[in-house]
Structure 1
Amino acid sequence: MTASFSAALEVFRVFLRLGLTSFGGPIAHLGYFHRELVERRRWVSDSQFSQLLAICQFLPGPASSQLGFALGLVRAGWLGALAAFLAFTLPSALLLVAFAALAPLLTGAGGSAVIHGLKIVALAVVASAVLGMGRKLCPDRPRQLIAVLALAGVLIADTAWSQLAVVLAGAVGGWLLCRSVQAAEADAFPIRHGRRAALMLAGLFAVLLLGLPMVAGESATLVSVAEAFYRAGALVFGGGHVVLPLLEDSVVAPGWVTEAEFLAGYGAAQAIPGPMFAFSAYLGATIPADAPALLVAAVALLFMFLPGFLLVSAVLPAWAAVSRHAGMARAIAGVNAAVVGLLGAALYDPIFTAAITGPVDVAIAATALVLLTGWGLSPLWIVAGCVVASMAVRLV
């Protein structure tokens, strides 16, 4: 067994345990990673961990999974990066594919109550995310203004391209208005590929982003699924719950997945460990494409994560120079504020409009939000409580 394979195997074992036990969403994952890989195993220093985290937050894609990918890359090269991705993602992806297979069996009054309970879960969890991200990413008036304008812009023109326009406008607004934001200091860390490889990876990212729409059709084929999920993964800033509006536009708008199926799967995703972007495996298994459900799920999962991984790999060799640019730091602050507005718009439509049918639903969602944000209750208990409450109301 070579040293590189042995190191990759170690990465796989560590991240498999994290993938099976990391409940609580992307912010909680960062805490798990730091405790396991910095404090316990000392794979990287605190400063190196913070630098890798900054890179992942500055790029579109799933921040916690990108961080795991980067940590695996630093530890054991490309094999380590692949091992970290597979081990951290597969447990949640397999659980969501299983839920997709079982979801059609949830029929009748009981099944409808379960589905509706999961919609209320989605409302509580996304509301919690909006509040938390708002406090962290919009601490001053300029960023609060950017967030409000982004929310209004998305609600007025709710399309995937309008969301991209809002993100770009947020970058310009941050560059002009966020004068208090300072550039981060960058310390060196070991990277095993150079700028030539980085340019090739950046080129592949661009080729796929521009080329897939040219060969994808409107029907649910494997190529169309790959294009839809690659586009969502390439355009989402902030990761986690922020991917919701982009995925909703990619799979619900063309009629591949119903709104009820979409929100039920999103609610179920709150009850499992691992990355939020594994939700793509559920959607892939639900889409009635021209291929077996497991294959469609695998394509959706791979192309959801691929753009973020290509970007973080491309940026790593040149990060030191990029991170010292003050204008870049201000632009990213504006993007993050716009992301808060984008998620706030998704909180209203489609989540609130689908989950709330009366005052009782409001009470259940409000209670779940208080328990989640005020008491720090595990999302697993929130899922169970909302489903039981929904069943009790609708069956009694």
Structure 2
Amino acid sequence: MSQKTPSDTAKADQDKGGANNADTGVLPADGVTLWQVFLIFLRLGLTSFGGPVAHISYFREEFVHRRRWLSDSRYADLVALCQFAPGPASSQVGMGIGMALGGVRGSLMAWLGFTMPSAIVLAVLGITFVHFDLAAIDNVIRGLKLVAVGVVAHALVGMARNLCPDVPRATIAVVSAGVMIVSDTVLAQFGVIIGGMIAGFILLRTVTEPERYDAPTSHSTKGAVFALGLFFVLLAGLPIVAHFDHSGLFAVIDGFYRSGALVFGGGHVVLPLLEAAVVDPGWVNQEAFLAGYGATQAVPGPIFTFAAYLGAVLHAGEGSGTWLISSVTALITLIAIFLPAWLLVIGILPFWDRVRHVQSMRAGLLGVNAAVVGLLAAVLYDPIWTGAIHNAVDIVCVAVAFAILQWRVMPVWALVGLGALLGYVVGLI
């Protein structure tokens, strides 16, 4: 009698409809192409409004709930890792998914697809130096925010059901959420994740889970060490090169690389670093900086694409023929701010994958997963809920969005489009 391989088991589950894949952790992702990875993340890059936590929820809906290419446990492990590491958390989660499905090239395809739409829009705004009037599309943004609340709530309920099925893990999630609501700081975030791991070691040693299989990948330990080494070499070496470079190019690269490498929490936390990098030296004035930040709120995708705008606006107004220079500078600053995040994903993920399969570590990671649920619950409350919900009508809209996702009436991208359209119609009325 032949023994079934993980791939055979995954295929059989997929033929049955994949109903249990997200619970067992079996991943029917064999044969996923780089082109598929790129197209999926491109669609997410075009429709993922709402900030980093909303992006994480969109990813879960796509890869855990809809396609069942990752288990909730594997996904939560990845989210926890990216919360630990500096850089844009949601983009790193996307890179990690791409790496799980297609190795290093998959991580590049995921980043390119997810980042390209908003980066192009913001670079064009920087090149033309358009001051975006957010008041003109205020109701559209409001509709998108309400959809984002529904998406995050739906993802949170699904993750809580799978990752907090017992009293100890539910308790860890509730305590973590309470800590983050009381003290919403990067230090508290670290404390919550480490505390979840310690609680897992103590409370969850007897908890057993089904054997989990991962998507086929080729994670090179030598490549990981090289990536980590390059991360630190650039962090230490770019300031030295910038000191001797009179063109100013490496000073720009150093400013954006350092912003991407030293920020914890991602998203809006990077703004003070970017302001210090471009406004304080006089490269970009305060008015242009704030205009670009406002425009960044109106586009989907990661907030770090703000770097494309800043790179383009460095040469705005210098006369005709500078659009090419602005385009190149926008590309350089965009790569510079995301490069440290990519190097960290490549450098840490292979070791993380090895550690997470050690039996003695599973209890701690189960606690970390529960803590991540609490962390997301806290962010759902503030700033997502508090920033989007203003009256009873908003609550009804969120409930409808949640129900649409729960009963799979339409895909997320269609719901996003519907939210924007309804917001636009309300603005006309």
TM-score class normalised by the smaller sequence: 0.5 to 0.7
Question: Separation in 2 of the partners of 1:202 and 1:32?
Answer: 33
- 1:305 alignment counterpart: 342
**Is residue 209–residue 230 contact of structure 1 (8 Å, CA) maintained in 2?**
no
TM-score if structure 1 supplies the norm length? 0.68
- 2:257 alignment counterpart: 226
**Is residue 138–residue 337 contact of structure 1 (8 Å, CA) maintained in 2?**
yes
1:149 aligns to 2:175 (yes or no)? yes
- 1:89 alignment counterpart: 111
Secondary structure of the corresponding residue to residue 347 of structure 2: helix
- 1:285 alignment counterpart: 308
Pick closer, same or farther for the CA change 1:313–1:156 going to 2, 3 Å: same
**Is residue 230–residue 307 contact of structure 1 (8 Å, CA) maintained in 2?**
no
**Is residue 115–residue 260 contact of structure 1 (8 Å, CA) maintained in 2?**
no
- 2:187 alignment counterpart: 161
Question: Separation in 2 of the partners of 1:294 and 1:262?
Answer: 16
Pick closer, same or farther for the CA change 1:51–1:190 going to 2, 3 Å: farther
- 1:175 alignment counterpart: 201
CA shift digits 1:296-352 (9 cap, x unpaired): 333333333332221123456xx2xx4554331011111111111111111121112
- 1:69 alignment counterpart: 99
Question: Separation in 1 of the partners of 2:235 and 2:183?
Answer: 23
CA shift digits 1:90-125 (9 cap, x unpaired): 233211223435696763654111222222222222
Identity of aligned residues (%): 26
Pick closer, same or farther for the CA change 1:52–1:209 going to 2, 3 Å: farther
Secondary structure of the corresponding residue to residue 184 of structure 2: coil
The structure 1 residue matched to 2:63, chosen from 24, 29, 36, is 29
**Is residue 160–residue 373 contact of structure 2 (8 Å, CA) maintained in 1?**
yes
- Give 1:304's aligned amino acid: A
**Is residue 128–residue 373 contact of structure 1 (8 Å, CA) maintained in 2?**
yes
Question: Separation in 1 of the partners of 2:152 and 2:134?
Answer: 27
Offset at residue 133 of structure 1 (A)? 1.3
The structure 1 residue matched to 2:394, chosen from 357, 361, 364, is 361
Offset at residue 169 of structure 1 (A)? 0.9
Secondary structure of the corresponding residue to residue 144 of structure 2: helix
Secondary structure of the corresponding residue to residue 372 of structure 2: helix
Offset at residue 172 of structure 1 (A)? 0.7
- 2:416 alignment counterpart: 383
Offset at residue 176 of structure 1 (A)? 1.0
Greater C-alpha Rg: 2
**Is residue 235–residue 257 contact of structure 2 (8 Å, CA) maintained in 1?**
no
- After superposition, residues 346-357 of structure 1 pair within 5 angstroms as 346-357=379-390
Question: Separation in 1 of the partners of 2:346 and 2:226?
Answer: 13
- Give 1:69's aligned amino acid: M
Pick closer, same or farther for the CA change 1:393–1:93 going to 2, 3 Å: same
Offset at residue 163 of structure 1 (A)? 0.8
TM-score if structure 2 supplies the norm length? 0.63
For structure 2, list consecutive stretches of 5 or more residues without a partner in the other structure.
1-31, 48-57, 83-88, 241-250, 276-288, 316-328
Pick closer, same or farther for the CA change 1:184–1:251 going to 2, 3 Å: farther
Question: Separation in 2 of the partners of 1:192 and 1:392?
Answer: 49
The structure 2 residue matched to 1:335, chosen from 368, 372, 386, is 368
- After superposition, residues 120-269 of structure 1 pair within 5 angstroms as 120-182=146-208, 191=218, 193-194=220-221, 198-199=224-225, 201=227, 207=232, 222-230=253-261, 246-251=266-271, 264-265=298-299, 268-269=300-301
Pick closer, same or farther for the CA change 1:314–1:251 going to 2, 3 Å: same
For structure 1, list consecutive stretches of 5 or more residues without a partner in the other structure.
1-9, 36-45, 74-80, 236-244, 270-278
**Is residue 159–residue 249 contact of structure 1 (8 Å, CA) maintained in 2?**
no
- Give 1:137's aligned amino acid: L
**Is residue 101–residue 217 contact of structure 2 (8 Å, CA) maintained in 1?**
no
Question: Separation in 2 of the partners of 1:378 and 1:209?
Answer: 41
Question: Separation in 1 of the partners of 2:350 and 2:202?
Answer: 29
